[in-house]
Amino acid sequence: MPVHVTDCLTVLRRQKDACLVHALREEALDQLPALVGPAGAAFVLAAGFKASPGQFVLVPDAKGKPVALFGLAPQGVRDPYQFGALARRLPAGNWQVKTPADTARQDVVLGFCLGAYTFALKSGAGTVQPDAPRLVVTETEKKSRAVETAISLWLARDLINMPANLLGPSELAHAAREALTPFGAEVTVIKGKALDKAYPLLAHVGNGSERGPRVVVARWRSSKASKKAPVISLVGKGVCFDSGGYDIKPSGGMLRMKKDMGGAASVLALARLIMAQNLPVQLELRLGCVENSVSGHAMRPLDVVTSRAGLTVEIGNTDAEGRLVLCDLLAEAGESNPDLLLDMATLTGAARVALGPDLPALFCNDNTLAQTLIEVSEAEADPLWRLPLWQGYAGWLRSPVADLNNISSRPMAGAVTAGLFLERFVKAGQQWAHIDTYGWNDSSRPGKPEGGDSPGVRAIFATLEKLFGSQNGAVS
């Protein structure tokens, strides 16, 4: 399998050495004789090729060299993932993809790279397979935003897919340091008594495991940014495995709980992309890296803990641990008064019931920001869907003994009440967005292999670029 994104790409001195993929739509079928010759055109039409989206066929050219035909999504529909099918269906060789003028080249490169992703821990894995196709690119494209995006998303996928015995809180913190320090970020990993004092609710979750919790705090300033540049603060839930604690999950509910650090993986991918693209901002990143275990020192139902913000929280359910991991980090992030605070978390099953696996739920306390995120997500073919921070449900989090409970008193609107819980730890007036994501593909589709994934990262980056890409805080 490719061991790095660039292993599925190649730069050729002579373009004629590459095999061709002609990507076309049904209205261009009359071009087939010019593309593959009259005999080839007759063959593929007889075989049922109609250039419908995703349709694929191989045919020899006049010299016996393979040529691929690939059906595109309808005109006006952006879908970079469709090109991921080519990374799986093309035979070994170097392939140049020809598309209509209205298809962005970056979508071809990004989609192919995302489709080439695989994860395996089998003996012999980790070497480039000789039968893997490679996309022909230029030297510039090999260093492009599309490739950097793919590298960032591969990083997140690798982390989410890693079994929990190989990726605990310490390993996740180490991975964050390894990803961020090459870009000049200052990375601090907090543990032990310092963590217990600074993040009491997070510690209450993580100290139930023999693998103690870690908090990653990273800071970075773009070479294009002055000290007055916008401050972006990212927070991620990094629960490396979630047993549910004493409110233990059924066995079937634990089967994918290695992915419960998907929020941390996603914001790490986002942070890496911000740095790789040198967005003219100041960046802060906080990851809460814990394991939610059952033990003699694990948190118990009805425990009451005082948070960093001073609010007391009653533990109504130990399986609602993600919001406990996030709330101290959100409170600390607000102390810097960032221009934007954003968190990502695999937080609630309720969001998945409402929206399914493909649509991360967006909660936001600013209508203008929310509208921008939604519009950009649609343009990027990386959709988000807004759900309300409905204040009418805030009373459902009341506790008779504490300032609030970590779960709702009613079995409804679980994603909304989780968002409302987090909002209690966000400073008044702070612009904030919360993304409740699934972080997983249940089945393989073009560009989206089964396993860990980070939907929303591209949309959020493009939003940040739109909002802060040309700020006055940039260094002239």
Q: Is the pLDDT confidence value at 217 over 50?
A: yes
Q: Is 323 a catalytic residue?
A: yes
Rounded distance, CA 90 to CA 21, Å?
9
Share of the chain above pLDDT 70, in %: 97
Asked whether 153 and 269 are in contact (CB, 8 A), the reply is: yes
Helix (H, G, I), strand (E, B) or coil at 50: coil
CA neighbor of 312 nearest in space, from 327, 297, 294: 327
Q: Answer yes or no: are the C-beta atoms of 285 and 267 closer than 8 Å.
A: yes
Nearest to 3 by CA among 116, 136, 90, 163: 116
Q: What is the pLDDT of residue 473?
A: 66
pLDDT computed for residue 2 by the predictor = 47
Q: Looking up tokens 């773009």, which residue turns up?
A: 222
Q: How much is the average pLDDT of 142-162?
A: 98
Out of 323, 352, 424, 448, pick the active-site residue. 323
Region 240-254: what's the mean pLDDT? 97
Catalytic one among 89, 145, 177, 249?
249
Interatomic CA distance for residues 285 and 416, integer angstroms: 24
The pLDDT of 51-68, averaged and rounded, is: 92
Residue-wise pLDDT for 412-437, tens only, equals 999 999 999 999 999 999 999 999 99
pLDDT one-digit tens code per residue, 83-133: 999 999 999 999 999 999 999 999 999 999 999 999 999 887 655 566 789
- pLDDT value at position 130? 66
∠ CA 12-14-17, rounded to 5°: 85
Average pLDDT rounded to a whole number, residues 462-470: 95
Q: Find the radius of gyration of the CA atoms of the chain.
A: 24
Query: What is residue 1's predicted lDDT score, i.e. its pLDDT?
Result: 40
pTM reported for the whole predicted model: 0.96
Whether 185 shows a pLDDT value over 90: the answer reads yes
Handedness of CA 194, 195, 200, 205 (dihedral sign): negative
| Residue 363 three-state SS | strand
Q: Please report where in the chains the tokens 């200052």 appear, as a residue.
A: 186
Reported as a pLDDT band with limits 50, 70 and 90, residue 6 is: very high
- CB-based burial, 107-123: b 16+ in 10 Å, e otherwise: bbbbbbbbbbbbbeeee
CA distances in angstroms from 472 to 41, 135, 205, 469, listed in the order given: 56, 39, 42, 10
Residue from 44, 36, 130 nearest 91 by CA: 130
Lowest mean pLDDT among 14-18, 176-180, 402-406: 14-18
Location of structure tokens 């982390």: 159
Nearest 10 degrees: CA dihedral of 270, 271, 272, 277? 90
Average pLDDT of the chain?
95
Residue 17 pLDDT level (bands cut at 50, 70, 90)? confident
Over the stretch 312-339, which tens digit does the pLDDT of each residue have?
Answer: 999 999 999 999 999 999 999 999 999 9
